[in-house]
Amino acid sequence: MEDINNAILSCKKCNLSLTRIKAVPGEGNFRSEIVFVGEAPGAKEDETGRPFVGSAGQLLTQLIRTYLKIDRTSVYITNLVKCRPPENRDPKDEEIDACSPYLIRQIEAIKPKIIVTLGRHSTKYFQVLAGRDPIPISRCHGNPFHVYFSFGKVLVFPSYHPAAALYNPPLRKEMEKDFLELSRLLNKGPTGSNSVTIDMFLNGNGPWDKRKEGSGNSIK
């Protein structure tokens, strides 16, 4: 992982390298079963070189503690794009194309069971990676699908970006529901007779395998 981080820190593949203060590779537990993938760093992240350290990061930390019953240091947190777009604009397609191979390398190194996408850009990226037609985050949040990597099948769990939840309070309620469902998948929250765990999903016994189209593409 150190080699990947060093490559990100010195990257000049796109014009974001000309405006950034610091690239933001990611941080957390390299052996975590969970990887959170946001969209791109903001101003505070650009200053510190760390992901999710502003107000959106505080909300994410709170959700992880409240619903998953773990500290954020127990998971790995990164972004689809590793450098801040000027004025916090949306990342451009060419920036995503330049940066996303680093994300794939990170995932291949960590080998998580679940990737939690935060926001529409990271969600769309994994939908396309899985060979699926992109669905708006308002319709697909909380509905997992899977992607194959060289090490096996990974569940992708879409949710809103914490920044969106801060600006739009009703989205925070939806995000809390998503994290409650995520906690059930991870056996961290309330369960019932219809509960499905992530291991059941990865073994092909989850309801999403039956109700969602496609089986996911393999990333070699």
Q: What tens-digit pLDDT sequence spans the chain (220 residues)?
A: 999 999 999 999 999 999 999 999 999 999 999 999 999 999 999 999 999 999 999 999 999 999 999 999 999 999 999 999 999 999 999 999 999 999 999 999 999 999 999 999 999 999 999 999 999 999 999 999 999 999 999 999 999 999 999 999 999 999 999 999 999 999 865 544 344 556 655 565 554 444 444 445 545 4
**Residue 115: CB partners within 8 Å, gap ≥ 6?**
34, 35, 36, 37, 107, 126, 147, 154, 155, 156, 157
As its CATH architecture, domain 2-211 has: 3-Layer(aba) Sandwich (3.40)
Q: Is 37 exposed, middle or buried (0-12, 13-18, 19+ CB in 10 A)?
A: buried
User: Residue 213's pLDDT is what?
Assistant: 40
Residue 202 token pair: 């990865």
